[in-house]
Structure 1
Amino acid sequence: MAYSYKGSISFGLVYIPVTLHSTIKNNDIGFNMIDKKTMSRVKYKKTCADCDGREVRQEDIVKGYEYEEGKYVLFDEKDFEKLKSKKDKNITIEQFVNLAEIDPLYFDKPYYVAPTGAEKAFAVLLSAMEEEGKAAVAKTVLGTKETLIAIRAKDGQMLLNTLFFAEEVTKNPAKEIKNEASEAEIRMAKTIIESMTGKFEPEKYKDEYREKVLAAIEQKISGKEINSPRERSEGKVIDLMDALQKSLLAVKKPAAKKAAPVKKTPPKKNKAL
């Protein structure tokens, strides 16, 4: 399995060589950009402001920082590598925290962590983290960017998530909402929540829209038109309490009928032979 990163997890004076493997596969349906007049694929080529349309080869492209208008200092990959210390090249654990303390808002990309050596040290760290219910907060430099990281243990597996730094998370633009709800409305909302509460089972949820797109592709291939589904109009509900009551009726499951108690027949006594 291809890996996204090869390095080490630094745990005190212990170094555990690891690789990171993406947990997510791209399930998108691939569409090409097409010129509808010629039915030809649209291609993009890299050019520059002063190239007169000439395409620039990939090997001639470097990173440049504009320090004055029209003036750049250039950096190549070797320059960035020279800046990295040994600590920057490793995933260095800075502290351990309770996983619940990390707001999901900060989570970015998830990875599986696989040891490529020091398996005993890996197993010790994994078991200790899982038994203590702790997550490790670490940092490393991936590419040209320092990355904040959370390492956690679950069901005997070590998982890693890249995190956003606090300065990268923007403030919520929504204005503060004053709580003007009545106790009855809140109780009704709680009842709806309770009625809809269950165990999270991710396998229950399917990408239904993707299935519709695949079906539409087949329809297009066979020359059929795509028709919008007929949907019943729900009607507007102005009163909040009325909307809550109707919502509760829609989600409330019918009470299961209690099974009649089974009459137990007393065991027959064995007749003496």
Structure 2
Amino acid sequence: MAPRANWKGFLKLGELVCPVALHTAASTSERVSFHLVNRRTGNRLHREFIDSETGKPVEKEDQVKGYETGENDYIVLQPEEIAAAVPESDKTMAVEAFVACSDIDDLYFDKPYYLRPADRQGEEVFALIREGMEAKKVAAVAQAVLFRRARTLIIRAHDAGLIATTLAYDYEVRSAKEAFSDIPDIEVKGEMLELAEHIIRTKSGRFDPKGFDDRYDAALAEVVKAKIEGRKIKPVRPKAEGKVIDLMEALRQSAGETKKKPAAKRKPAAGRRKAG
């Protein structure tokens, strides 16, 4: 049985309309989480908002949002004024175009959701859209109002359903040119490039998320378990720093081409004659 939907609406493709449900595909709820507590009493702490000038606590009804126009100068916005900027939702996920899956830049990917039919009546239309996209190897670019924000989504066929991934806006993604501007242009060729290609070939495999471990979260869970059981918590020893070696030698070692000492020549046994 599918979990409770985060959003319900309609996937619209021209005159085709299909009731759909959106479900969270990735969640951090299973991670180890902590509360702040008083070291002396063991009681949980509660956050309190304090006026920066008077130092006095501010009640919830007096807490409003403000936009800073200058140093310590704010324009106060009332809740109803902010609500006026929230786009009106018609519960429609409207497909605007189809693009080749190979053309999608995943740098803009934000958060993935599972998209499935919301009821029995929509299953046939949903299957038609999904199968058509799968056959043509395309993804749909759609617009929808999700969680009080207008969002652009990339919708792709996945297993028996669809994956709808919200996209970051262009202004939110930092320039790659700016990030890489000071990387020197180095030409790599010859044996060095061949060794690198050899290492990549020997390390080739298949993408399997099951093999990825959150070592930090696992270590935290072990610390909590040890604390509950009254066991001593062993500090993690820092790894010894590796020796700085020649780049070509590092490539050879990685490729398993380390130089072996030549085998010693065997001397003929005493008294044994050579065949003549």
Give the TM-score of the pair, scaled to structure 2.
0.77
Please give the residue correspondences for 1:90-129 in structure 2 after superposition, counting only pairs within 5 Å: 90-117=92-119, 118-129=122-133
Measure how far apart 1:109 and its partner are.
Answer: 0.8
Do structure 1's residue 181 and structure 2's residue 188 form an aligned pair?
yes
Inter-partner Cα distance in structure 2 for 1:131 and 1:244: 42
State whether residues 129 and 152 of structure 1, in contact with CA within 8 Å, keep that contact through their aligned partners in structure 2: yes
Do structure 1's residue 166 and structure 2's residue 170 form an aligned pair?
yes
Measure how far apart 1:248 and its partner are.
Answer: 2.0
Inter-partner Cα distance in structure 1 for 2:75 and 2:239: 61
Task: Specify the alignment match of 2:33 in structure 1.
Answer: 30
The amino acid of 1:176's aligned partner reads I
**Which moved further from structure 2: 147-156 or 65-74?**
65-74
Counterparts in 2 of 1:11 and 1:51: CA distance versus 1, 3 Å: farther
Q: Secondary structure at the match of 1:35?
A: coil
Q: Secondary structure at the match of 2:133?
A: helix
The amino acid of 1:130's aligned partner reads E
Measure how far apart 1:152 and its partner are.
Answer: 0.6
Inter-partner Cα distance in structure 1 for 2:239 and 2:94: 56
Inter-partner Cα distance in structure 2 for 1:122 and 1:2: 19
Inter-partner Cα distance in structure 1 for 2:147 and 2:129: 26
Task: Specify the alignment match of 2:210 in structure 1.
Answer: 203
Counterparts in 2 of 1:103 and 1:171: CA distance versus 1, 3 Å: same
Counterparts in 2 of 1:66 and 1:248: CA distance versus 1, 3 Å: same
Measure how far apart 1:166 and its partner are.
Answer: 1.8
Please give the residue correspondences for 1:1-273 in structure 2 after superposition, counting only pairs within 5 Å: 1-26=3-28, 27-46=30-49, 52-56=56-60, 69-76=73-80, 79-80=84-85, 83-84=87-88, 86=90, 89-117=91-119, 118-172=122-176, 173-174=179-180, 175-229=182-236, 233=240, 235-249=242-256
The amino acid of 1:215's aligned partner reads E
Q: Secondary structure at the match of 2:84?
A: helix
The amino acid of 1:42's aligned partner reads L
Measure how far apart 1:181 and its partner are.
Answer: 3.0
Inter-partner Cα distance in structure 2 for 1:62 and 1:160: 34
Task: Specify the alignment match of 1:268 in structure 2.
Answer: none
Measure how far apart 1:177 and its partner are.
Answer: 2.8
The runs of 5 or more residues in structure 2 that have no matched partner are 258-276
Measure how far apart 1:191 and its partner are.
Answer: 0.8
Give the TM-score of the pair, scaled to structure 1.
0.78
Inter-partner Cα distance in structure 1 for 2:14 and 2:226: 60
Equivalent residue pairs, number: 245
The runs of 5 or more residues in structure 1 that have no matched partner are 251-273
Inter-partner Cα distance in structure 2 for 1:166 and 1:223: 51
Q: Deviations over 1:11-59 (max 9, x none)?
A: 11222121100112322102112233443322113466689313315xx
The amino acid of 1:55's aligned partner reads E
Q: Secondary structure at the match of 1:189?
A: helix
State whether residues 80 and 144 of structure 1, in contact with CA within 8 Å, keep that contact through their aligned partners in structure 2: no
